[in-house]
Amino acid sequence: MKVGIAQINAVVGDFPGNAKRLLQAYRECLEKGAELVVSPEMGLVGYPPRDLVFKSQFVPKCLQALDYLASEIREVPFLVGYVDHHESDQPGKPFRNGAAWLENGEVRARRWKTLLPTYDVFDERRYFEPSERCEPIEWNGRKFGVTICEDIWTDDYLDRPFYRRDPVRELKAAGADLILNLSASPFHLGKPEQREEMLASVAREAGLPLVYCNAIGAQDQLVFDGHSLVVGGDGEVLARLGGFEESCEVWNLRQDAAATACGRMPQPPCEQLWRALVLGLRDYVTKTGFETVCLGLSGGIDSALTAAVAAEALGPDKVHGLTMPSPYSSGGSVSDSFALAETLGIRCDEVRISEIFEEVKSTMAPLFVGEDEDVTEENMQARIRGLLLMSLSNKFNHLLLTTGNKSELAVGYCTIYGDMCGGLAVISDLPKTRVYDVCRWLNREREIIPWNTIDKPPSAELRPDQKDQDSLPEYDVLDGILEAYVEKHLSTDEIVGLGYEEDLVRWVQRRVDLNEWKRQQAAPGIRVTSKAFGMGRRMPIVQRFTG
Amino acid sequence: MKVGIAQINAVVGDFPGNAKRLLQAYRECLEKGAELVVSPEMGLVGYPPRDLVFKSQFVPKCLQALDYLASEIREVPFLVGYVDHHESDQPGKPFRNGAAWLENGEVRARRWKTLLPTYDVFDERRYFEPSERCEPIEWNGRKFGVTICEDIWTDDYLDRPFYRRDPVRELKAAGADLILNLSASPFHLGKPEQREEMLASVAREAGLPLVYCNAIGAQDQLVFDGHSLVVGGDGEVLARLGGFEESCEVWNLRQDAAATACGRMPQPPCEQLWRALVLGLRDYVTKTGFETVCLGLSGGIDSALTAAVAAEALGPDKVHGLTMPSPYSSGGSVSDSFALAETLGIRCDEVRISEIFEEVKSTMAPLFVGEDEDVTEENMQARIRGLLLMSLSNKFNHLLLTTGNKSELAVGYCTIYGDMCGGLAVISDLPKTRVYDVCRWLNREREIIPWNTIDKPPSAELRPDQKDQDSLPEYDVLDGILEAYVEKHLSTDEIVGLGYEEDLVRWVQRRVDLNEWKRQQAAPGIRVTSKAFGMGRRMPIVQRFTG
């Protein structure tokens, strides 16, 4: 049997657009000979719709779109992810995360998601009621075990089993001879490899072949990376679809020559990160209806990488850089910015902030009599830059990109309403050491990021001769502590046990905790690690826990 | 039997402080003759701890604090809310939302919360595993049915039953002759009355008396209002504790003369709102360790009310106002600000923004050649004010309060990084019409908010002769549409059916949707309605649903 995989990019809430895209992909699979086509979790809806599902016409309009889609389907079945009502006479949540089997102009069967992830970035128990039982769908003498995303994530990949039920086991017991999975599984570094291992292990344990269709495209903070798969009942990967791009492929499950049609393995880490950022930026900008972006260029590595991602995602003519030297800026601040603009082919303008800075200081002088200059004046400079960038954004309808990295954001080494201004934080989930890695990888063939930008000591340039390492530990040390504290939730003692100095560990922990208020006002960032700041990390601002 | 209710104010994660506060309250109840003392849900932890529970030492330290607390308890039992591990050999979530029965130096019994709210501001399925069964705790010949918050919220108050289990019924079937409830039930307007009705109905249906201890105090966006209750098995309210304040009271359950010890009914709406805002502001400021606040005074009603709340919460000497007229400001902008400062007794300073504004315009002029002035220049003014206020905040360690109301925030009639700057959005959940109501109520005896501020037409004063109603519908119309759209999730047709004009409804809906990105960078606001922007409303930024 030939199964088509429609790895498409949906937009949340765009039922007409998503239906059209699904139909195109379905027809593309038909042309390639598909006898059954599978598409991603909530492909008709976009994932995750979050509280939009509560809008009174959201599910009704989804069901209308599903009926329309069904009316366009003939004898080759199409399996489509959507959202449905939960029967109103039953207790529980109001909705179902569903898969509809479309065939001969109608919805022939519906199945509900059983395991509802409610952790990290996921909130499915907020909305959905799980299935009561898992039953295969019979068609053409076969029994298809339809599952949705989490339904096939097995316990081996978790610290403890989250769930009491196992949909694959239930389906196998009910006679399923093939597992189909509709997914919207977001990317983080290493996830494509982890997913492939996990799917192979599920298929092998069940002894059933598995067809896995993942979404691609970005939605707010999440990037869906595709990498759809076909795995044999022995756990062998039979086919791979590409990552970070739409793709429609058809696979003959009876065919033996596995290797021939098998796509390449997931890319090395820096390439994964780069492609995730490019897709994340492109989808955020274009799906919100912007055409161009602007950003501040400091001559430093963060703004350089952000500009490079933007130029790749949108084209260099859509990117407008602004360099804004102050009295404390090095010469390199301007010259490295123009050098970068040159290699990327983006526009760069220069404006000075000194006059505004002096005017702000003299305006506040009557209130600051007798006070020394301090961080106030550093923040003023960052905020003047934010003000100028926002005026550029307002005047020309550019989306302003903010350029901070994860290490800075973690310890609050950034100015709220200053360099934190912007609609999208492109690299806010990249630790500083990763920023260097990606830039060096990017320069592997030719100089895209000026080597001078990569090699000079990082500096905020907000006071004379300032360097990041006047205020912060070396970045490899800082990032090590941050990974232990932010991503792994380790305690002071446990982090010290990894070989870090106790006072420093406490200082970093305190800075992370104290700066929660800033992060809760930060622009959404593109998630590329397993624990990003943002929707997947929900810390109180007011709290006194230490440890 | 005499039951003590320890209605205390906990700080999230402050185990030593919370243990101390619980012990004080316990002893106060002992002195009043209590034979059993009940305290709020997670009283030892503070509610909600959110992702802090994932920190490796969070639950261990909580358990240490519980053991310490137990060691201080003699023969009068103390029922304390805390967080525990879920047994690690069982599938499911890692934690339990628990109640510990402390007696004679030890934890004699533990009970788990059964119904785990996962909607609006609540995320309990993210963390906790529900109880497997509900069993009373026997003591002194009685059987106590211990429940935690949601466990007693019955279906009558929901559109549909959320849950399949009913802990009160289970406990009654197991012989309970009294229901105890530990709560952390957040305030919104009308909630105290709703809660009282609901508790009366639960007690009546079960035919059992009910002792209800709610938390008080604010935690980030939430305000817990107390209003603990004792209800007889016939549904009669026997005792009420105060709202928005700590309180320890002891009630003799065998006593008949109900009326004597019964506190007053919940206050009228404006008083509830006022007290919630005052508590919300005071706890946010003091629990984060600030001593003073600053804010911009525009001469308008929003900043006036915010200043009044701050002066009441912290004392007028802790509040620093700044009035920042521009060339487009009315004379009243400054004079009304000083009049307000006079009646409140707060400091007010004046600085002009014109010179900075001119300097910003001339800096950007080379890039803006041939462009007309537009909203860019309006936003510049708001952002210069934000910059000056943040410099005041930085220099003197004031927490900056932002002053926008819910109607503005809904439609984006506010400048991000401008008037949206601040650590706490005091009235961001008050629709503009409610702002007027509260100000008039505040002036019921004497002029606290200058009447001129209340009576003049609202204006952002960012261009000559600008009035809010040049850009927005009348506020009573706007607030009506917003309530239907934001709080009730109604569709265009449904809102038009309420009597609003279709184009206007669509315009408001579109503005609400387009400004989601601004709200996700807004300061946390104090929640006082049933659907606030913030943690209880989780909308995607990127989305194309209309309807």
Tens digit of each residue's pLDDT (9 = 90 or more) over A166-198? 999 999 999 999 999 999 999 999 999 999 999
Q: What is the pLDDT of residue B450?
A: 95
Q: What is the pLDDT of residue B332?
A: 83
Fold of B273-472: Rossmann fold (3.40.50)
CA-to-CA dists, residue B332 to A105, A345, A429, B458, angstroms: 68, 51, 47, 12
Are B14 and A489 within 8 A, CB to CB?
no
State how far residue A382 is from chain B, nearest Cα, in angstroms: 10
Best interface-test mutation with A: which of B159, B349, B535, B543 has the largest number of A CBs within 10 A?
B543
- Are the C-beta atoms of A428 and A302 separated by less than 8 Å? no
Nearest by Cα to B150 from B17, B262, B42: B42
Q: What is the pLDDT of residue B259?
A: 44
Known catalytic residue: B150? no
Are B388 and A544 within 8 A, CB to CB?
no
Least confident range of A236-240, A351-355, A429-433, B54-58: A236-240
Would you place residue B162 in the very low, low, confident or very high pLDDT band (cuts 50, 70, 90)? Answer: confident
State how far residue B87 is from chain A, nearest Cα, in angstroms: 11
- Neighboring chain B residues of A541 at a CB cutoff of 8 Å: 220, 288, 524
- Neighboring chain A residues of B44 at a CB cutoff of 8 Å: none
- Neighboring chain B residues of A283 at a CB cutoff of 8 Å: 542
- Neighboring chain A residues of B160 at a CB cutoff of 8 Å: 88, 91-92, 94
- Are the C-beta atoms of A91 and B163 separated by less than 8 Å? yes
Are A360 and B388 within 8 A, CB to CB?
yes
Average pLDDT, chain A: 95
Are B359 and A363 within 8 A, CB to CB?
no
Are B376 and A367 within 8 A, CB to CB?
no
Query: Looking at chain B, which residue has its C-alpha nearest residue A352?
Result: B363
Q: What is the pLDDT of residue A464?
A: 86
Q: What is the pLDDT of residue A130?
A: 97
- Neighboring chain A residues of B92 at a CB cutoff of 8 Å: 160-164
Looking up tokens 């404390």 gives: A328
Are A542 and B349 within 8 A, CB to CB?
no
**Mean pLDDT of the B301-326 span:** 97
Least confident range of A34-43, B249-258, B522-531: B249-258
Query: Looking at chain A, which residue has its C-alpha nearest residue B165?
Result: A91
Side chain identity, residue B454:
I
**Mean pLDDT of the B289-310 span:** 98
Would you place residue A119 in the very low, low, confident or very high pLDDT band (cuts 50, 70, 90)? Answer: very high
Are A371 and B123 within 8 A, CB to CB?
no
- Neighboring chain B residues of A538 at a CB cutoff of 8 Å: 50-51, 123, 126, 535
B2-266 and B273-472 agree in CATH topology? no
Dmax of chain B from CA atoms?
87
Buried b (16+ CB within 10 A) or exposed e, B265-292: ebeebbebbbbbbbbbbbbbbebbebeb
Are A349 and B367 within 8 A, CB to CB?
yes
CA-to-CA dists, residue A13 to A7, A57, A99, angstroms: 18, 11, 17
Query: Looking at chain A, which residue has its C-alpha nearest residue B52?
Result: A539
Give the DSSP letter string of B124-155. Answer: GGGTBPPPS----EEETTEEEEEEEGGGG--G
Identify which of A384, A542, A544 has the shortest CB distance to residue B17.
Answer: A544
DSSP letter at A50?
Answer: G
Are A353 and B363 within 8 A, CB to CB?
yes
Locate all alpha helices (DSSP H) within B208-353, ordered by sequence: 269-287, 301-314, 331-344
Buried b (16+ CB within 10 A) or exposed e, A115-136: bbbbbbbbbbbbbbbbbeebbb
State how far residue A376 is from chain B, nearest Cα, in angstroms: 5
Fold of B2-266: Nitrilase/N-carbamoyl-D-aminoacid amidohydrolase (3.60.110)
Query: Looking at chain B, which residue has its C-alpha nearest residue A284?
Result: B542
Are B390 and A371 within 8 A, CB to CB?
no
Known catalytic residue: B421? no
Average pLDDT, chain B: 95
Strand partners, A468: none
Judge residue B204's burial from the number of C-beta atoms within 10 Å of its C-beta, 0-12 exposed, 13-18 middle, 19 or more buried: middle
State how far residue A481 is from chain B, nearest Cα, in angstroms: 14
State how far residue B11 is from chain A, nearest Cα, in angstroms: 6
A399: left (phi over 0), alpha (psi -120 to 50) or beta: beta
- Neighboring chain A residues of B539 at a CB cutoff of 8 Å: 50-52
Examine the pLDDT at B464 and tell me if it is beyond 90. Answer: no
Are B363 and A380 within 8 A, CB to CB?
no
Nearest by Cα to B334 from B467, B463, B453: B453
- Neighboring chain B residues of A540 at a CB cutoff of 8 Å: 12-13, 48-50, 52, 219-220
The residue from A29, A62, A134, A149 that is catalytic is A149
The residue from B149, B213, B248, B294 that is catalytic is B149
Would you place residue A260 in the very low, low, confident or very high pLDDT band (cuts 50, 70, 90)? Answer: very low
Q: What is the pLDDT of residue A263?
A: 67
Residues 6+ apart with CB under 8 A from B510: B546
Query: Looking at chain B, which residue has its C-alpha nearest residue A369?
Result: B395
Known catalytic residue: B474? no
CB pairs under 8 A between A and B: 284
Would you place residue B157 in the very low, low, confident or very high pLDDT band (cuts 50, 70, 90)? Answer: low
The residue from B28, B113, B248, B461 that is catalytic is B113
Are A363 and B380 within 8 A, CB to CB?
no
State how far residue A156 is from chain B, nearest Cα, in angstroms: 12
Nearest by Cα to B356 from A384, A349, A419, A462: A384
**Mean pLDDT of the A200-227 span:** 97
In tens, the pLDDT along A301-339 reads: 999 999 999 999 999 999 999 999 988 888 888 999 999
State how far residue A181 is from chain B, nearest Cα, in angstroms: 23
State how far residue B366 is from chain A, nearest Cα, in angstroms: 9
Predicted ipTM of the assembly: 0.96
Domain ranges of chain A: 2-266, 273-472, 473-514
Half-sphere exposure of A397 (CA within 13 A, CB side): 6
Cβ atoms within 10 Å, residue B55: 22
In tens, the pLDDT along B385-406 reads: 999 999 999 999 999 999 999 9
Collapsed DSSP state (helix, strand, coil) of residue A383 = helix
The residue from A113, A172, A318, A432 that is catalytic is A113
**Mean pLDDT of the B16-36 span:** 98
In tens, the pLDDT along A364-382 reads: 999 999 999 999 999 999 9
- Neighboring chain B residues of A287 at a CB cutoff of 8 Å: 542, 544
Best interface-test mutation with B: which of A323, A485, A543, A546 has the largest number of B CBs within 10 A?
A543
Q: Is the pTM here over 0.90, yes or no?
A: yes
DSSP letter at B412?
Answer: T
**Phi and psi angles of residue A429, each rounded to the nearest 5 degrees, phi first:** -105, 10
Q: Is the peptide bond before A366 cis (omega within 30 degrees of 0)?
A: no
- Are the C-beta atoms of A391 and B360 separated by less than 8 Å? yes
Side chain identity, residue B104:
N
Least confident range of A129-133, A279-283, B253-257, B446-450: B253-257
Examine the pLDDT at A243 and tell me if it is beyond 70. Answer: yes
**Mean pLDDT of the B181-204 span:** 95
- H/E segment holding residue A436: helix A432-442
CA–chain centroid gap for A519, Å, is 17
Would you place residue A503 in the very low, low, confident or very high pLDDT band (cuts 50, 70, 90)? Answer: very high
Half-sphere exposure of B484 (CA within 13 A, CB side): 22
